[in-house]
């Protein structure tokens, strides 16, 4: 039986191999992994833990929060606030950033997260997950004094991430991570209570026969998306010359995990229900981390017009259209937009 490689050993070996992971970042990622383990235990309790159902509150998006949304957010905040590796945190569940109080050691990283993505699936026992992204706190201009962290410090393009990942709470609890040297997957060994490396150098096939989109929104889509999906639905008798399968779990973490595991294309495009919004998904703590993971695995990720990781953010909770997954499918779907 080959020796089990823990998350810590993997990160130390990455640190040694290419210096990609300064110790502070390694320790931060280990704290996030421990928080995900705690969230997994709360999720697994379900009704037995009294954690199902809605809380009596709304988040910054105006969405009714689930009890587990709040629990997951609190776990991540508490785990990280005294870790000493962070300067501040931003969460889908919080209006403004959380600056680590001065009484705690301040670090040089910024952590952004969607503490529990796919909340609509919590009460029906379908996979959900935590998505996280790590940025470096910007250095002050030469000669300038260190300023307090502000929301502006978080507004960095996805290409500036130093780590990104998610933890999917499904039949297995699996942590998926990149620090810029490919994608690795770690499965939680509940007997040992540790994440064990189960796959590295994850690769997404460049072609696929599987698309993921919420088909109930079809009448609201823009022409290019409708053309792309119609052609998939025409199957082998149409211009694609092959039949397609469809999946939609309504948990981005679960849909992206499937794509990282066997390929596919995921679309959450702009639609005319809320024309002033570019899309439903959030750029900073959903699209950016997922897009970096997908690119690191040989896939592609655009908003229909440009690479998601190049989008310069203007607001912490801004939304974006997302097309990501198998490279050739993303390029085709994106190409239809530019053909407009």
Binding pattern to ligand P6P, positions 160-179, x when CB under 6 A? --------------------
> In 3-state terms, what secondary structure has residue 112?
strand
The residue at minimum Cβ distance from ligand P6P is: 252
Candidate ranges 78-86, 111-119, 175-183, 232-240; the one touching ligand P6P (CB under 6 A): 111-119
* DSSP string for residues in 239-291: TT-S--EE---S-HHHHHHHHHHH--EEEE--BTTSTTSS-SEEIIIIIHHHH
139 contacts: CB under 8 Å, gap ≥ 6:
none
Give the chain's end-to-end CA distance (angstroms, integer). Answer: 55
118 interacts with ligand P6P by CB under 6 A: yes
For ligand P6P, give the closer residue by CB, 11 or 212: 212
328 interacts with ligand P6P by CB under 6 A: no
Out of 173, 174, 251, 303, name the contact with ligand P6P by CB under 6 A: 251
Strands (E), the chain: 54-58, 64-66, 86-91, 98-99, 109-117, 128-136, 163-169, 173-178, 183-189, 194-199, 210-212, 245-246, 265-268, 281-282, 300-302, 319-320, 322-325
Please report, as residue ranges, which positions from 275 to 304 form the binding site for ligand P6P (by CB under 6 A): 280-281
Candidate ranges 148-156, 222-230, 244-252, 300-308; the one touching ligand P6P (CB under 6 A): 244-252
The verdict on whether residue 291 carries a ligand-binding annotation is no
CB of 24 to ligand P6P, least distance (A): 30
For ligand P6P, give the closer residue by CB, 80 or 119: 119
Out of 252, 290, 311, 324, name the contact with ligand P6P by CB under 6 A: 252
Out of 69, 93, 117, 271, name the contact with ligand P6P by CB under 6 A: 117
The verdict on whether residue 69 carries a ligand-binding annotation is no
> In 3-state terms, what secondary structure has residue 306?
coil
The verdict on whether residue 277 carries a ligand-binding annotation is no
Cβ burial, residue 161 (10 Å; 0-12/13-18/19+): buried
DSSP state of 124: G
The verdict on whether residue 74 carries a ligand-binding annotation is no
CB of 4 to ligand P6P, least distance (A): 31
* DSSP string for residues in 192-218: TTEEEEEE-S----S--SEEE--GGGG
DSSP state of 307: B
Locus of tokens 């005319």 = 272
The verdict on whether residue 200 carries a ligand-binding annotation is no
The verdict on whether residue 222 carries a ligand-binding annotation is no
CB of 321 to ligand P6P, least distance (A): 12
Interface with ligand P6P (CB under 6 A):
117-120, 214, 250-252, 268, 280-281
Which residues are annotated binding-site positions?
92, 114, 116-120, 214, 280, 286
């Amino acid at each position: 039986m080959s020796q089990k490689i823990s998350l810590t050993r993997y990160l130390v070996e990455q640190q040694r191999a290419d210096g990609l992971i300064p110790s502070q970042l390694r320790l931060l990622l280990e704290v996030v992994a421990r928080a995900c383990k705690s969230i997994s235990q709360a999720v697994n309790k379900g009704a037995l833990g009294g954690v199902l159902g809605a809380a009596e509150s709304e988040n910054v998006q105006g969405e009714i929060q689930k009890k587990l949304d709040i629990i997951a957010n609190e776990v991540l905040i508490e785990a990280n606030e005294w870790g000493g590796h962070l300067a501040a945190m931003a969460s889908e569940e919080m209006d403004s950033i959380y600056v680590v109080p001065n009484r705690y050691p301040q670090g040089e990283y910024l952590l952004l997260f969607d503490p529990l993505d796919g909340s609509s699936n919590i009460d029906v026992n379908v996979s959900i997950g935590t998505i996280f992204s790590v940025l470096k706190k910007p250095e002050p201009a030469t000669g300038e004094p260190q300023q307090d962290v502000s929301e502006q410090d978080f507004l960095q393009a996805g290409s500036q991430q130093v780590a990104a990942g998610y933890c999917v709470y499904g039949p297995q609890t699996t942590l998926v991570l990149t620090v810029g040297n490919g994608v690795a997957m770690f499965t939680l060994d509940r007997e040992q209570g540790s994440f064990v490396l189960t796959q590295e150098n994850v690769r997404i096939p460049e072609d696929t026969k599987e698309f993921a989109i919420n088909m109930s929104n079809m009448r609201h889509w823009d022409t290019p998306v409708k053309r792309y999906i119609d052609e998939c639905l025409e199957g082998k008798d149409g211009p694609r010359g092959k039949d397609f399968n469809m999946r939609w779990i309504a948990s981005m973490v679960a849909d992206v995990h499937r794509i990282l595991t066997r390929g596919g294309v995921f679309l959450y495009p702009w639609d005319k229900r809320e024309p002033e919004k570019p899309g439903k998904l959030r750029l900073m703590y959903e699209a950016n981390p997922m897009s970096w993971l997908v690119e690191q695995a040989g896939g592609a990720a655009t908003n229909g017009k440009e690479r998601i990781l190049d989008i310069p953010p203007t607001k912490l909770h801004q939304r974006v259209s997302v097309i990501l997954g198998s490279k050739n499918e993303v390029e085709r779907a994106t190409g239809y937009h530019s053909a407009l």
